[in-house]
C-alpha cells in the first residue's frame, strides 16, 4: 500500500485560503470546521482574563463575529490561530471593562432620586459579608492579617509591609494564597 504524501505548503496554503474565503462567504461547513478546530483555543484565551463561563462565552462569541467580519482580510492563514487568540483576549478584556461600575459625579448624584432600600439585597450583602468574615478567620495568621489590612482600605504594599512587619516581597504571595483559600471556601456557597 503506498504511503500517503503530505500536501505541499503551497497546496496547504491554497486549501487554508479557500477556508478563509468560505468563512467570509458564510459557508456553514467551513464555520463548523473552524469552530471545532479553534473553539478551545478561544475559550482558553478568554479564560486567562475571565472567570465566569457566561463571560467567556460572550468574549468567544464576539471573537467569532469579528472573524466573520474580517476573514477575507486575513492575508496569511498561518496567522489565524494567533489572530483568534489575540482577538479573544482583547474581547475578554472588553467584557471585563464593560462590567466595571461607573462612579457618578456629585452633580449626577444630586439629580438621581433616592432608591428604595431593597431589603432582600441588603440581607444577601450582610450574609456575604458574614461568610467572608468567617472565611477570613479560618486563614493562617499571616494570610489573615494581610487580607484584613487590605479590606480596611486601599494602601500600598510598602505601607502594609511596615504595618504588618512582613517583607514587601512576601505580601503578594501571601495575598494570592489567601485569595485562593477564600475562593475555595466561598465559591461553593455562592452557587
**Residues 124 and 88 both lie in one domain:** no
| pLDDT tens-digit readout, 140-171 | 888 888 888 877 777 787 888 888 888 888 88
Grid cell for residue 93: 478584556
Where does a domain end: 99, 128, 153?
Answer: 99
**Residues 20 and 74 both lie in one domain:** yes
More confident residue, 35 or 77: 35
User: What's CA 189's distance to the chain center, in Å?
Assistant: 21
Instruction: Give domain status of residue 52, yes or no.
Output: yes
Instruction: Give domain status of residue 113, yes or no.
Output: no
What secondary structure letter does DSSP report for 26?
Answer: T
Instruction: Give domain status of residue 78, yes or no.
Output: yes
Domain that holds residue 49: 9-99
Least confident piece of the model among 18-32, 96-110, 176-190 = 96-110
Instruction: Give domain status of residue 105, yes or no.
Output: no
Grid cell for residue 167: 517583607
Residues of the chain with pLDDT > 70: what percent?
77
**Residues 94 and 145 both lie in one domain:** no
Amino acid at each position: 500500500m503506498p504511503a500517503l504524501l503530505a500536501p505541499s505548503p503551497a497546496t496547504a496554503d491554497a486549501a487554508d485560503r479557500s477556508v478563509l474565503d468560505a468563512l467570509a462567504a458564510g459557508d456553514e461547513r467551513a464555520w463548523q470546521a473552524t469552530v471545532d478546530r479553534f473553539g478551545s483555543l478561544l475559550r482558553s484565551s478568554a479564560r486567562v482574563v475571565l472567570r465566569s463561563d457566561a463571560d467567556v462565552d460572550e468574549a468567544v462569541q464576539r471573537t467569532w463575529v469579528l472573524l466573520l467580519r474580517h476573514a477575507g482580510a486575513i492575508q496569511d492563514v498561518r496567522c489565524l490561530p494567533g489572530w483568534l487568540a489575540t482577538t479573544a483576549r482583547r474581547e475578554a478584556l472588553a467584557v471585563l471593562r464593560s462590567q466595571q461600575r461607573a462612579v457618578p459625579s456629585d452633580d449626577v448624584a444630586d439629580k438621581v432620586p433616592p432608591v428604595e432600600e431593597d431589603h432582600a439585597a441588603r440581607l444577601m450583602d450582610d450574609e456575604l459579608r458574614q461568610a467572608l468574615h468567617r472565611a477570613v478567620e479560618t486563614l493562617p495568621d499571616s494570610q489573615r492579617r494581610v487580607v484584613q489590612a487590605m479590606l480596611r482600605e486601599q494602601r500600598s504594599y510598602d505601607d502594609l509591609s511596615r504595618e504588618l512587619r512582613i517583607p514587601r516581597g512576601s505580601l503578594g504571595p501571601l495575598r494570592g494564597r489567601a485569595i485562593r483559600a477564600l475562593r475555595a471556601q466561598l465559591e461553593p456557597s455562592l452557587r
